Structure 1
Amino acid sequence: MKTVAGAFLLAVLIAPVQAQTLPGGFVFLRDIDPTIIQDIRYASSNNFTGRPLAGYGGAECVVKREVGLRLKAVQQELAQKNLSLKMYDCYRPARAVADMVAWSRNGKETAAERRYNPAFAKADLFRLGYIATHSLHSTGAAVDLTLVDLTADNSGKFDPAKDYADCTAPAAARAPEGSVDMGTGYDCSDVKGHTATDRITPAQRRWRTMLVAAMARQGFVNYAKEWWHFSLPGAGGPAYDFPITRAR
């Protein structure tokens, strides 16, 4: 009996440490639907800054609960076609947005950074509408995502030491995405990344159309300059700055 009581007491003491309470109606997406693939780029070096952004202490998709439930509904529809959503970014702490601003103004432009914006300088990203100084991501109502064909070989891994072609190049030459070919890589600040561009192939157009349609059926609205960016009107609110940590 003492052993059982001791184990129970230990569980009670440990539980509050393991449980995490998120503010403002936020949830970890994996608690809503663990089948949705996550590749949170700003928690790694695989993004346009080449390093993790401030506030990304864990590679976790955090969203408002309503957003999570609707993403689950999208995932259930896609599963019937052997497809899955893949999350690139979800809630973005305000400090990460400030980090992006500082990065854009540091006066440096490396070859790795140019892969994401081959046509113009990174200092112009905000003026041209590719990055916002006040992001909907910080409200929990916006997400960046793509589609994964679950029947395909998605084993390609990003190698930070490799000299990849820029984000507008054919899929075989640019950094591996582990997803369907949408015509550009994620975070490609280029006209080719605009959702309705005519500079992509018919097959790439069909993938984009499928993604936009599936998201629209759950109320999500696409941002015209980024095929990967969607927001849920009315689900946001104030911008938050709490850091992202691991779900458990």
Structure 2
Amino acid sequence: MKRRFISVIFVILSITIGFTQEIPKNKYGLSVVNDFGLYQTQIKKDSAKALVDLQKFIPGIFIDVRYATENNFAKTKFYESQKVFLRAPAAAALKKIQKELSQQNISLKIYDAYRPYSVTEKMWEFVHDDRYAADPKSGSRHNRACAVDVTLVDLKTKKEFAMPTPYDNFTVKAHHSYSNLPRKILANRKLLKTIMTKFGFETITS
């Protein structure tokens, strides 16, 4: 089902998402900003809520937004663009990671970052399992632009590092606790996890 090359979603810890009461609530009682004017009002109040275009902010970073194609678990195009965005603090942390990795001739590759709430609703229609997809009743860190799906790329060969599963994988092999893997793959997973957590990100279990 869901094929995720690293099958890790990293979540920045330092961001507090604080919505004001003026944001309308949906049927689940969640505050959802779905209007550009309202978004502009929010970032005027708190610049940390601004969405940063990662390709412009981190030159040279690799992008492969599968949800902008049909090459994903649902065989459905969810996005109209390959652009990827994160909240400003998360984007700044990711830029530091990319800089440190570049010293080892390694780059990040981004599969997904900010995800509109409407896409979360559509994905839930395909995957009714909150281990691998966000339940619209609670939303996700992707909806709040502070989560990113990533892997590593060798800058010399332009090839992705071997990881436990392909991107969008909904099996136990995608879990961080799964260890029945070749040593090289375990080392690659550890390398990615170590540098992400160093700069304030954490992993989810699946």
Which band: TM-score by shorter chain? 0.7 to 0.9
Q: For residues 13-69 of structure 1, what are the alpha-carbon distances to aligned partners after superposition, in whole Å with 9 as ceiling and x for unaligned? A: xxxxxxx9975411111121121111111111111011211xx22111111011111
Question: Between the two proteins, what is the percent identity of the paired residues?
Answer: 33
Aligned to 2:205: 224
**Is 1:25 the equivalent of 2:6?**
no
Structure 2 gaps of 5+ residues are 1-35, 41-48
What letter matches 1:210 in structure 2?
A: L
> What aligned pairs does 1:173-192 form with structure 2 within 5 A after superposition?
179-192=160-173
> 1:70/1:153 Cα in 2 relative to 1: closer, same or farther (>3 Å)?
closer
Separation in structure 2 between the aligned mates of residue 75 and residue 196 of structure 1, nearest angstrom: 26
Q: Which has the larger radius of gyration?
A: 1
Q: What TM-score do you get using the length of structure 1 for normalisation?
A: 0.61
Q: What amino acid is the match of 1:190?
A: T
Q: Which shifted more, 136-145 or 193-202?
A: 193-202
Q: 2:65 aligns with which of 28, 40, 48?
A: 40
Distance in structure 1 (CA, Å) of the matches to 2:154 and 2:186? 15
Mapped to 2, the partners of 1:90 and 1:82 lie a distance apart of: 23
Q: Which residue of the partner structure matches residue 117 of structure 1?
A: none
The CA distance in 2 between the partners of 1:62 and 1:211, in whole Å, is: 20
CA offset at residue 153 of structure 1? 5.2
Higher relative contact order (CA 8 A, sep 6+): 2
Distance 1:153 1:219, change over 3 A: closer
Give the 3-state SS of the residue equivalent to 1:68 in structure 2: helix
Unaligned runs of 5+ in 1: 1-19, 105-122, 155-178, 226-248
Structure 1 residues 153 and 68: alpha-carbon distance in aligned structure 2, compared to 1, 3 A threshold: closer
Shift of 1:205: 0.5
**Separation (CA, whole Å) in 1 of partners of 2:109 and 2:176:** 17
Residue 103 (structure 1) shift: 2.6
> Are residue 151 (structure 1) and residue 153 (structure 2) matched?
no
Q: Runs of 4 or more off by more than 4 Å in structure 1?
A: 20-23
Give the distance between the partners of 2:171 and 2:180, measured in 1 at CA: 11
Q: Which amino acid aligns with 1:143?
A: V
- String of CA shifts for 1:132-187, please: whole Å, max 9, x gaps: 11111000111100000112253xxxxxxxxxxxxxxxxxxxxxxxx111021012
Query: Number of residue pairs matched?
Result: 159
Q: In 1, Cα distance between the equivalents of 2:103 and 2:80? A: 34
